[in-house]
Homo-oligomer: A and B are copies of this chain.
Amino acid sequence: MYSEELEKLFARRGIAPGDRIRVTVKGRTLEGILMPRPEFGDSGAMVLKLPNGYNIGMRIGSRAKVEKQGGKKTTFEFPKAKLGRKEGLPEVSIIATGGTIGAKVDYETGGVHWLLEPGELLYAVPELKDIANYGVINLMSIGSEDMGYKDWQEIAKAAAKELSRSRGVVITTGTDTMHYISAALSFMLQGINGPVVITGSQRSSDRGSSDAFMNLACSARIAASANVAEVGVCMHATSSDTYCSFMRGTRVRKMHTTRRDAFRPINSPPIANVTREGEITYTDEGRVRIEDGGRELRVLKGYEPKVALLKFYPNSDPEILDYYISKKYKGAIIEGTGMGHIAVSPHDSRYSWLGHIKRAVDSGMVVGITSQTINGRVNPNVYTNGRLIAGTGAIYCEDMLPEVALVKLGVLLGNHRRREAAHLLAKNMVGEISERSEVGQQL
């Protein structure tokens, strides 16, 4: 409920949430749909959904004019389309897991809750019918920030099952941890022979600027016809609706909170670009699909959740490593600065990480070093601090993203002995690390 004052005003005007209203304050007029009061918002500020899809909260004085507009009360519901079948089209499986792409506005809170009915999206993206025949699995309905390794394992299992009968798989997820999910599936699904396309949307489907429909169409195009055998993320490549990029699952990162082109390829070009109409252009990055099979899909089932991702920063407390040792963690990825540097000789030795890293390695923890710059390659051999840290047995992770290193270490420790996991951490497995550009070792 809004404040008593506002509720009285609405009652007088016969206005209720969902109605289109017009507010005039000091000669300025705004039109929009009245939303219910947000759970933690200011009860004296009314919330309008503007035609551009944004919500605006406004306190209005007694001189403001509030009028009810005509038109249907908003319910934000799409009609549904029935899933038909067309002969000759490839099979594509859609696995829905939750997230904005399947979200609708919830009138109780004025926010967005997880709901997905595939028929609605098929109605909204009519060309899907001409791209493939679909099997739709509503696997789970979880916001990606609430997902963990058990969800990844469940998705991997479902994807493997679908891959055995489909040409490609589209997995819809929330965007917040989409690049962790894509990294997990990249390592868990070994030897795939078709596209596994992870997609979602930055803006929900009830907004004019929603990217849900184009992302889904482009993902279906990749799954149905791209000549790749890769796990990747397919999302808007630009902030307008020009085309999408299919980016390797271990080389992509959410780089903006709200932009539609938030997912950027890192340290490696996209595998392909794809238009909504189905034009696919490839870089030479991706593994190709073998037409008649010939690869054996193997799901790596284990995952070790006791791996930590830590960030080094000035005056950061290196005893955090001892905390993880005491909690019996098996691995840790440290985001160093620059080429993977961490304080070794600060004025105040309490802030030196060297002894703590050595203790962690000696205790059996696999410690990987990455960079918080996100782009570029770590290198322990340029400066003394790097050499000292590498000397403890910590492993410099080349040009692998910190988040990818975290997930990779979880998969490695869940399926291999410590020694083998440490050996594989900085070795390329599925395209997550690239060779250095010079012969020999660049120091």
* A403-B313 in contact (CB<8A): yes
Does residue A167 face the partner (Cβ distance < 8 Å to B)? no
Does residue A346 face the partner (Cβ distance < 8 Å to B)? yes
Does residue A339 face the partner (Cβ distance < 8 Å to B)? yes
Residues in chain A within 8 A of chain B (CB atoms)? 35, 38-41, 45, 47, 54-58, 109-113, 142-152, 175-177, 180, 254-259, 262, 305, 308-317, 319-320, 323, 327, 335-348, 351, 371-385, 387, 390-391, 403, 406, 410, 438-443
* B176-A341 in contact (CB<8A): yes
On chain B, the residues within 8 Å of A376 by CB distance are 256-259, 262
Report the bound CA distance from A410 to B142 in whole Å: 36
Contacts A47-B443, A315-B305, A438-B56 given; does A254 touch B147 at CB 8 Å: no
Report the bound CA distance from A376 to B314 in whole Å: 24
Question: What secondary structure prevails in chain A residues at the interface with B?
Answer: loop
Tally of this chain's copies: 2
On chain B, the residues within 8 Å of A109 by CB distance are 384, 387
Determine how close the nearest CB of chain B comes to the CB of A215; give it in whole angstroms. 16
* A143-B41 in contact (CB<8A): no
* B387-A38 in contact (CB<8A): yes
Report the bound CA distance from A440 to B64 in whole Å: 15
Name the residue on B nearest A341 (C-beta).
Answer: B145
Contacts A338-B175, A373-B254 given; does A146 touch B440 at CB 8 Å: no
* B440-A56 in contact (CB<8A): yes
On chain B, the residues within 8 Å of A346 by CB distance are 146-148
On chain B, the residues within 8 Å of A440 by CB distance are 45, 56-58
Report the bound CA distance from A338 to B99 in whole Å: 12
* A317-B311 in contact (CB<8A): no
* A256-B305 in contact (CB<8A): no
- A112-B383, A256-B373, A258-B379 known; 15 new pairs, CB 8 Å cut-off, are A47-B443, A56-B443, A57-B443, A111-B384, A143-B341, A145-B342, A176-B338, A177-B313, A254-B337, A255-B375, A257-B371, A258-B377, A310-B311, A315-B410, A320-B323
20 contacts between A and B (CB under 8 A): A39-B387, A40-B381, A47-B443, A55-B443, A56-B438, A57-B443, A111-B384, A113-B384, A145-B338, A148-B343, A177-B314, A180-B314, A255-B373, A257-B338, A257-B373, A257-B376, A311-B311, A311-B335, A315-B410, A374-B374
